[in-house]
Structures are given as structure tokens and as C-alpha cells.
Structure 1
Amino acid sequence: MARQLRPVGLDFVETAPLRLVFAREMTSPPESVYRALAEDVADWPRWFTAVTAARSTGGGSGRQIRLRGGTRFEETVIAAEPCEVYTYRVDVTNAPGVRALVEEWRLTPDGSGTRVQWTWAADGTAAFRFAMGLGRAGLGRAFRDAVTRLDRRLNSTHAP
């Protein structure tokens, strides 16, 4: 059953009761990484294996996401600064226990590559917060694997 979540703003990334932060270096430049995150939304399942379907809505102001296991998200993009940050808030989901959720992808130039930082900021029931604390390692692995796949994909599409 889909539920409406509490609408939160950008400050939630720093103030959420549960914040999971992961970072990884990529060889791809920020422009390519940003384009893959914010503009090529439908391609997310090709590099982020937890995502089974993704589509941009509202001319890029929103997203609809499906994850393995059947979790669905309807999201609003709340920050999109090319080559710097891509942030979205989950407005509606069928995931149990969650009350508010924001994901931020922050890009920082690193030589000719990019340092990618993913912040997963959430609020929910005590059971939800406990489960997500236990799931931290799995989310970290999913992020690391996704960024590695994305980097390979971007490098193969730009190879001579």
C-alpha cells in the first residue's frame, strides 16, 4: 500500500535522524556522472542493480523508481546543480516504516575524475531506523557496486 511521506527540504540531508553517507572515487568526469544521474534516469537499472525500473516525470522535476523486491518510489527532485549535486525527496512509497527520505548525490572534481558522495537521509519508526542501521553495510555495497558499474559504463561509451 502506497503512503504519502512527510515533505522535507534540503536541510533534511544534514538533520535527518538517520544519515548514511558513502563516498567513492570515479575516473569519469563530473559532467558525465551528473548526466547519468540526472538526465539519463531511464538507464539507472543498467548500472544500479537494485533499481529495476526508472523514469523521469514532470519534465525532469520528478522520478518514478522500482527496486528489486517490489519497493516503489515517487520522488521530487529538490536540487539539480549540474556537475555538483543531484538531490531528490521520496513523496510516496510502499516501503513500511519510513516517514521521510531524501537522497543526495554530491559530485566533487578529483583530478580528471569525480569523488561521488551519496547521502541517504531518513526518518521512520524505531523498527525502520533499527533495520536500516543493520542494512548499512548492504547499502554501502550497493552504492560501491553501482558507482563502479557506472564508471565502467561511462568509460566504455567514451572510449575511442
Structure 2
Amino acid sequence: MPRWFALEAADADFLESAPHVFRYEKHYDAAPAQVWESLQSDASLSEWGPTVTSLTWTSPRPFGVGTTRTVALGPAQVHERFFRWDEGSGYSFYVYEANAPLFRRFAEDYRVEPDGTGTKFTWLVAIEPVGAMRLPFTVLAPIVKAGFGRMASDGQKHFAAR
């Protein structure tokens, strides 16, 4: 059983004020309702590609503010709690525990909007590393940003193949 490290809670303000904010915008060849359905499905992001290796909702449906889930990206695991849930158009959450002591605060925001015959998917990742990781994270931020960007690109491939 992994050891868990507590993170500080985050909110909508943190999505703009975090020391590191990564923004991704992608066009998906699917209607917004299809993208939304995928985001809140049992498999969610884990069905988009290899980046998210597992995802388990730990709250009962219907989902909303306060919903929790566990997500794994290879050996990295996090517990997430949703602080915004706008049915059909997006949600935001923060990580409240992780199995590695890398972050002080970590939050994400997902938005789904009509874009012609498809969907505009906007994703924000907001990160504040723990003190000892500030400098290494600043140096590695471009690599970290590219790594997270794979998930948004995985979504493009996933919906293009449907």
C-alpha cells in the first residue's frame, strides 16, 4: 500500500496564481456532449491513451462538487477532490494526496465548448512544488509541460479514431 502525502487545498484563484500554470487548447472531432460523456465516464481519461494508466471514481454518481477519484500515471498516484462541476461543460479539482512528496498544491481545470462541428477542449494544470522541488521544477517545467500535453493530444487521437 503506498504512502500518501497531504497537499494543501486549491481553488479557482490558484488556477491563475500558481507558480506554474500550463494551458492546453485542442480541437476534438466530437460533439461537446461526447467529450463530456467521456470525461465523466468510468474510464474517463484512461481510455484516451497511455498517459493515464488508471482512474477510479471513489464517490457515487451523480458526480458534483465534492466528488473524489484516484488517478495513476504509471507509478505516480493522486487522490483528487472536485471543487467545480458544471454539468456538460467542465470541472475543476485539486489533488489532496499524492504518493510522492513533490507538490504543495496541484489543481486542474477542464472546459468543454462547442467549436464548429467539434469541441474546443481547454485544460489548465496549476502546480506549486514543495520548497525543495522549486528550483528543479523550474528547470524541468518545459519537460513537465510537454509530458502533461501528451494527455491532451491523446484526447485528439482518441476522438479522431471514433
Question: TM-score range, shorter-chain basis?
Answer: 0.7 to 0.9
Q: Secondary structure at 1:6's aligned position in 2?
A: coil
Query: 2:83 touches 2:94 (CA, 8 Å); kept in 1?
Result: yes
Query: 2:29 touches 2:156 (CA, 8 Å); kept in 1?
Result: no
Structure having the larger proportion of residues in helix:
1
- State the 1:51 CA deviation: 1.3
- State the 1:82 CA deviation: 2.2
Q: What whole-Å deviation, never above 9, does each CA across 1:115-160 have from its counterpart, x for those lacking one? A: 001111010131234323332223223321x21233135xx3xxxx
Query: 1:42 touches 1:55 (CA, 8 Å); kept in 2?
Result: yes
- State the 1:7 CA deviation: 0.6
Query: 1:31 touches 1:82 (CA, 8 Å); kept in 2?
Result: no
Q: 1:43 to 1:9 in 2, by over 3 A?
A: closer
Among 115, 128, 139, the alignment partner of 2:148 is 139
- Which segments of 5 or more consecutive residues in structure 2 lack a partner in the other structure? none
Among 71, 89, 95, the alignment partner of 1:65 is 71
Task: Indicate the RMSD between aligned Cα atoms, in angstroms.
Answer: 1.7
Query: 1:106 touches 1:118 (CA, 8 Å); kept in 2?
Result: yes
Letter aligned with residue 130 of structure 1: V
TM-score, length of structure 2 as denominator length: 0.84
Q: Percent identity?
A: 25
Measured in 2, the distance between the counterparts of 1:54 and 1:89 equals 15
Query: 1:64 touches 1:74 (CA, 8 Å); kept in 2?
Result: yes
Among 128, 135, 159, the alignment partner of 1:151 is 159
Which residue does the alignment assign to 1:103?
108
